[in-house]
Amino acid sequence: MVDRLTAAVLFTGGKDSTFAIEALRTAGFHVACLISVISENPYSYMLHTPNIRTAELSANALQIPITFGSTKGEKERELEDIRETVSTARDHYHFQFLGSGGLSSNYQKTRLENIAREIDLKSINPLWGLDQRSYMKGLVQRGYEFVLTSVSSAGLDEKWLGRRIDANSLPLLLDLSERYRFNPAFEGGEAETLVLDCPLFQNKTIEVTEQRKIWDGIRGKLVIEKARLVPKQNV
């Protein structure tokens, strides 16, 4: 018999999908697996693309199995590839809920709800509607350590690529979000993140050993060439 509170989480290794796992567990869910879909299109409407393959390291640190799928990333057609990947994972891990880390994107929310309904799952968004400033402060206070892996907003220049968001940098980030009117949690795609450590990581953290920046004068991304898991300190 399948536990009614068993979920899979669409996962990128970023702050939102990682915290969604914690939020679901707090709400009584068992997270049976993670699902990542790798897009060939870096400008996918639905999918996180920077350094998505590091999600495997994140899953290892979380000690949760992960299923990968792929798509060319064509608008709307990529939804079929996401649905197929979720369906394959569901048949193996037998979950009933599809979780995601969206805060306010109706475009993604409605499409994920449709995908879930088409394969007899229920979509759940544990972070939906959270105040973004409070959310970011809460992540830092809870010990989430993450870096920016892409930036594409006025106010966020090349120096923010690879920058760790912590108690020192967060106030400046929040000030910039007010001055330049971007979403402080990047829900509008202004930036992407990678979690290096958090309370959910059991015994290991992610260490980036080789990286490079791509910057065109307006936007850019951090390309992680090599990363590894290292023992967590003071466990």
Q: Tell me the pLDDT of the chain (235 aa) as tens digits.
A: 444 699 999 999 999 999 999 999 999 999 999 999 998 887 777 777 778 889 999 999 999 999 999 998 787 788 999 999 999 999 999 999 999 999 998 988 999 999 999 999 999 999 999 999 999 999 999 999 999 999 999 999 999 999 999 999 999 999 999 999 999 999 988 999 999 999 999 899 999 999 999 999 999 999 999 999 999 986 5
For residues 211 and 222, give the distance between their C-alpha atoms in angstroms, rounded to a whole number: 7
The DSSP bridge partners found for residue 148 are 193
CATH number at residue 75: 3.40.50.620
Residue 120, domain member (yes or no): yes
Q: How high is the pLDDT of residue 4? A: 66
Residue 74 has what pLDDT? 83
The residue type of 226 is K
Domain end point (choices 73, 93, 124)? 124
Tens of pLDDT, residues 137-159: 999 999 999 999 999 999 999 99
pLDDT for the residue numbered 235: 56
Tokens of 68: 């990968």
What's the total number of domains in the chain? 2
Strands (E), 41-132: 66-71, 97-99, 122-124
In a domain, 53, yes or no: yes
What does pTM read for this prediction? 0.94
In a domain, 131, yes or no: no
Query: Regarding beta strands 66-71 and 30-39, do their DSSP bridges make them parallel or antiparallel, or are they unpaired?
Result: parallel
What is the spatial distance between Cα 152 and Cα 158, in angstroms, rounded to a whole number?
10
Tokens of 12: 């990128």
| Residue 12 is assigned to a structural domain of this protein | yes
Q: Are strands 164-165 and 145-151 parallel, antiparallel or unpaired?
A: antiparallel
Which 3 state secondary structure label does DSSP give 179? helix
Write the DSSP string, 92-105.
HH--SEEE---SS-
- Same domain, yes or no: 111 and 153: no
Same domain for 111 and 32, yes or no, is yes
Domain shared by 70 and 178, yes or no: no
The H or E element spanning position 134 is helix 132-141
The amino acid at 150: S
In a domain, 79, yes or no: yes
At a CB cut-off of 8 Å and minimum separation 6, what does 138 contact? Answer: none
- Whether 182 and 118 share a structural domain: no
Q: What is the DSSP letter of 11?
A: -
Q: Are residues 177 and 106 in the same domain?
A: no
Residues 102 and 165 in one domain: no
Which of 116, 96, 105, 112 minimizes the C-alpha distance to 24? Answer: 96
Q: Which residues contact 171 (CB under 8 A, 6 or more apart)?
A: none
- Domain extent, residue 185, equals 141-231
Note whether residue 132 is domain-resident: no
6-10: strand order across its sheet: 66-71, 30-39, 6-10, 97-99, 122-124
